[in-house]
A and B are shown apart, each in its own frame.
Chain A
Amino acid sequence: MSLSHEQYLLLSALADGELGDDEHEAAVALLAESADARTFTESLALLGQAVQAAGALEPAPSVELVDAIMARLPTEAAAGETLASPPAAQAAPVRSLAEARARRARASQFAVAVGALAIAAASLFYARARHEAPSVGPVALATPSAVEPVGAEKGVEVRAIDSDETSQVSVFYLPAGANMSSSVVVWIDDKGAP
């Protein structure tokens, strides 16, 4: 190329819109007379478009990164550094890094608690399933020893009897015997037998 360093700078400033009236006229005159100047300017325009397109595809910074940057702002301001935001602008909400860390720590503790609950629940259910597995048949039944010890004092108790009006009902209580609790016999006189 035949352009000088100063001409490159002039064309770059033109592309950035940073020229005054005189410099702008000079740059336009250069573009009119130099094919290299036009080519360079077109290259700058293409480069600018490519950068914008790449910026559109780039994912936004993660919340954690934003939190970390925002958390540093008060410290820098306190050190006397000037913020770039205009005085009239409303201050953005700032969360401290310590707060963010504490929040993440609480989230981690919650996750651990939930995980422990899940493991405990699964273990308990698995243990119950294993305990019930030896039972034969679809219904788990209690053994006599599991419900009432042998020789328990309470025998069978009649809570209610209702029979046909023509029948005579007698209740016999059988006393407890060896290895046997008391029992009852409900004797219904069978006058109405078919």
Chain B
Amino acid sequence: MRVLTRRHLVSVALFGAAVVGTGALVRGARAEGAPKVRVEVMVIHATKGPEPGSYDPRIGDVSRLKVPPFSAFNTYRLLDKKDLELESGKSAPVKLPNGRDLLVAYSGLTADHRHDLSASISQAGGASYLKLLRVSASVGQTFFVAGQSFQGGNLVLAITLR
């Protein structure tokens, strides 16, 4: 019978530690491997009211809302604000005040390391208002989806990567 020496025991212990350490490293790499992004969705009601109009301070920077095509309205009020945390291949819905559903999907990074984001808007009965809008953008950038009639004005969806 072969006698287990101290060297054998140390070798076995080190090998076990290597297996555990490598496994932990692989798990960490997997956890970091999937791209993630945080998306902020602001649902804004745009109307044309008496001059000079008003801007909801909760909207933040409104410089974009003072140029065409948004300059057709002079009053902007924040109706809802959602923060979505998306991993690559995941999507999240946002309920709109007109009964439609906005679905934001994240497809990961593009070849130039930007974020591949999609948006679609469906209405009751399964019909699609916006079948698909696919953009590439970087963190900090905003794109808008507008044009839905709502209570004498329009709905403006401001979608920002955070």
Contacts and interface: CB of A to CB of B under 8 A. Distances in A.
Interface of A: 59-60, 62-64, 104, 107-108, 110-112, 114-115, 117-122, 124-125, 128-129, 137-144, 147-148, 150, 152, 154-164, 167, 170, 172, 174, 177, 180-181, 183-190, 192-194
Interface string B125-162: 00111111111111111111111110000100000001
B7 A185 contact: no
Interface stretch (B51-59, B65-73, B74-82): B65-73
B85 A114 contact: no
B145 A188 contact: yes
Contacts of A64: 5
Given A111-B14, A121-B22, A125-B21, A188 B7 contact: no
Most buried by A among B116, B140, B145: B140
A183 B148 contact: no
B63 A118 contact: no
A179 B85 CA distance: 25
A78 to B, nearest CB: 30
A159 B87 contact: no
Contact of B21 (A121, A142, A148, A190): A121
A181 B148 contact: no
Given A144-B140, A148-B138, A156-B141, A189 B147 contact: yes
Contact of B146 (A62, A129, A163, A187): A187
Contacts, number: 185
5 contacts: A125-B25, A147-B113, A158-B134, A160-B133, A186-B143
A186 B138 contact: no
B91 to A, nearest CB: 15
Contacts of A137: 85
B116 to A, nearest CB: 8
B125 to A, nearest CB: 8
A115 B22 CA distance: 11
Given A152-B138, A174-B67, A193-B148, 11 more contacts: A122-B17, A128-B32, A141-B38, A143-B139, A156-B135, A163-B130, A164-B129, A172-B68, A183-B143, A184-B143, A185-B143
A164 B143 contact: no
Contacts of B37: 141-142
B14 A181 contact: no
Contacts of A172: 68-69
Nearest to B137: A156
